[in-house]
Amino acid sequence: MASVTFEGATRVFPGAERPAVNKLDLEVADGEFLVLVGPSGCGKSTSLRMLAGLEEVTEGRILIGDRDITNLPPKDRDIAMVFQNYALYPHMSVAENMGFALKMAGVGKEERATRVREAAALLDLEDYLDRKPKALSGGQRQRVAMGRAIVRQPQVFCMDEPLSNLDAKLRVSTRTQIAALQQRLGITTVYVTHDQVEAMTMGDRVAVLKDGVLQQVDTPLALYDRPVNLFVAGFIGSPAMNLLSARAGEGSAVIGGYSVPIDHEAASKMSGPITVGVRPENWRLVGASEGGLPVTVTVVEELGADGFVYGTCDVEGTPGTVVIRTESRGAVRKGDVVHVTTDPAHVHVFDTESGARLS
Ligand code: ATP
């Protein structure tokens, strides 16, 4: 069993005002691919480094299966780490780089060669085993770093932004390869990224962190469909969810002059100021007489299959920004005033002050 459990894991750096990671409770199932995501400084690398043994745990504990590893040195944790900068040894060949940790662990030459060959085959690196890292492309170096982790046959992979040095196109193809490889090997993986698209496409589940505090952990679609608070709502999804200030009406939320029906549960919980969230694809363009939200178009982005219309709307005297996904090529132009509505099922309602979801 190689589940990973963080139990109230906390890291306070000396002299810091608040913990870099604050009472993290998180369980990663055996064989699961879990992504830690959040903006810069939210504590995702520190969480991963505590698991890998590279950062002290100030409070709480971390387990692999039922083994408490909180105070074990990194080499005794049965974890392999893949770093952002790959950390390859420049004077060693690809094969030597991949086999180095095994050599240090006292694994014999033949066994080493077999494991390196197997990993090289998995990663399409067989033709490069004699090369030095400087004679490889960025993508190949990234695969060597992966290979070095794989040959160790660890219980857990820890990956810290392993794709961030690749160009955009290679990043997309490599993320698919890593996800497929992880599935094939079935090794429990904790993966850190600041990129929510990477998180959504790779993770079985995604844990969203902010200011050292876990906000929500769930499957990518559950995060997208039911964000627990304003932060997750704004962070997951690209372009981001429209978040508009509103006031409570009778079973509805009122945005400027537009009244959007909301479900009973949310309506019963509304006490103070509220924020209404609508995904860009959940707006529908309607005629001016149909009582939608008027939006003055400022930018139109045509992407081919679909497009995004950006605009402003009047929310209680202050302009709100709106983004609408549309398939109606060329029908909307800058300067137009369009009207949009949405269905109650697609409306997210949040308490503006606490940020909490109300339904
Ligand atoms: P990034 O995406 O920028 O790497 P992150 O989410 O991985 O960010 P961490 O590196 O975990 O964030 O940092 C969390 C917080 O801890 C930040 O406020 C950071 O400044 C602080 N921090 C990280 N390492 C140290 C350190 N060695 N000493 C003091 N503070 C640190």
Q: Which atom of ligand 1 lies nearest, measured to the CA of 15?
A: 29
Q: What is the pLDDT of residue 263?
A: 79
Mark whether 86 and 225 lie in a shared domain.
Answer: yes
Mark whether 190 and 266 lie in a shared domain.
Answer: no
CATH number of residue 37's parent domain? 3.40.50.300
Span 268-317, pLDDT tens digits? 777 788 999 999 999 999 998 888 899 999 999 998 888 999 999 987 66
* Cα gap 339→327, rounded to integer Å: 15
| Domain end position, chosen among 189, 212, 230 | 230
Q: What is the pLDDT of residue 27?
A: 98
Mark whether 248 and 205 lie in a shared domain.
Answer: no
CA of 189 to the centre of ligand 1 (A): 21
CA of 153 to the centre of ligand 1 (A): 29
Supply angle C-alpha 167, 172, 177, rounded to 5: 120
Mark whether 114 and 259 lie in a shared domain.
Answer: no
The pick from 12, 17, 42, 54 for probing ligand 1's pocket by mutation, whose C-beta has the most ligand atoms within 8 angstroms, reads 42
Q: At what angle do helices 109-122 and 138-150 cross, to 10 degrees?
A: 130
Q: What is the ipTM of this complex?
A: 0.96
| Domain end position, chosen among 230, 252, 268 | 230
C-alpha separations of 92 from 99, 100, 129, 138, 171 in Å? 10, 9, 10, 17, 25
Q: What is the pLDDT of residue 329?
A: 79
CB atoms within 10 A of CB 51: 28
Span 117-139, pLDDT tens digits? 998 988 889 999 999 999 998 88
Mark whether 220 and 246 lie in a shared domain.
Answer: no
Span 58-107, pLDDT tens digits? 999 999 999 999 999 998 999 999 988 778 899 999 999 999 989 998 99
CA of 232 to the centre of ligand 1 (A): 20
Q: What is the pLDDT of residue 291?
A: 83
Which residue has the least CA distance to atom 14 on ligand 1?
43
* Cα gap 180→353, rounded to integer Å: 41
Q: Which atom of ligand 1 lies nearest, measured to the CA of 55?
A: 27
Q: Which atom of ligand 1 lies nearest, measured to the CA of 42?
A: 6
Span 12-62, pLDDT tens digits? 999 999 999 999 999 999 999 999 999 999 999 999 999 999 999 999 999
Q: Which atom of ligand 1 lies nearest, measured to the CA of 192?
A: 7
Which residue has the least CA distance to atom 2 on ligand 1?
40
Q: What is the pLDDT of residue 1?
A: 65
CA of 45 to the centre of ligand 1 (A): 7
Classify strands 33-37 and 59-64 as parallel, antiparallel or unpaired: unpaired
Mark whether 22 and 75 lie in a shared domain.
Answer: yes
| Domain end position, chosen among 205, 230, 255 | 230
pTM value is 0.92
Q: Is the dihedral of CA 325, 328, 334, 335 positive or negative?
A: negative
How many domains, in total, are found in the chain? 2
Q: Which atom of ligand 1 lies nearest, measured to the CA of 209?
A: 6
Q: What is the pLDDT of residue 250?
A: 83
Structural domain of residue 119, as residue ranges?
Answer: 4-230
pLDDT at 261 over 90: no
CATH number of residue 298's parent domain? 2.40.50.140
Mark whether 289 and 336 lie in a shared domain.
Answer: yes
CA of 193 to the centre of ligand 1 (A): 13
Span 196-239, pLDDT tens digits? 999 999 999 999 999 999 999 999 999 999 999 999 999 999 99
The pick from 13, 81, 194, 231 for probing ligand 1's pocket by mutation, whose C-beta has the most ligand atoms within 8 angstroms, reads 13
* Cα gap 121→128, rounded to integer Å: 11
C-alpha separations of 140 from 113, 135, 137, 153, 212 in Å? 19, 9, 5, 20, 34
Query: Could you tell me the maximum CA-CA distance found in the chain, to the nearest angstrom?
Result: 79
Q: What is the pLDDT of residue 44?
A: 97
CA of 147 to the centre of ligand 1 (A): 27
Residues whose beta carbon lies within 6 Å of some atom of ligand 1 = 13, 16, 20, 38, 40-46, 194
Mark whether 84 and 185 lie in a shared domain.
Answer: yes
Phi and psi of 76, rounded to 5°? Answer: -95, 10
Q: What is the pLDDT of residue 304?
A: 86
The pick from 11, 22, 37, 44 for probing ligand 1's pocket by mutation, whose C-beta has the most ligand atoms within 8 angstroms, reads 44
Q: What is the pLDDT of residue 50?
A: 97
Mark whether 49 and 135 lie in a shared domain.
Answer: yes
CA of 5 to the centre of ligand 1 (A): 21
What single letter denotes the amino acid at residue 37? Answer: V
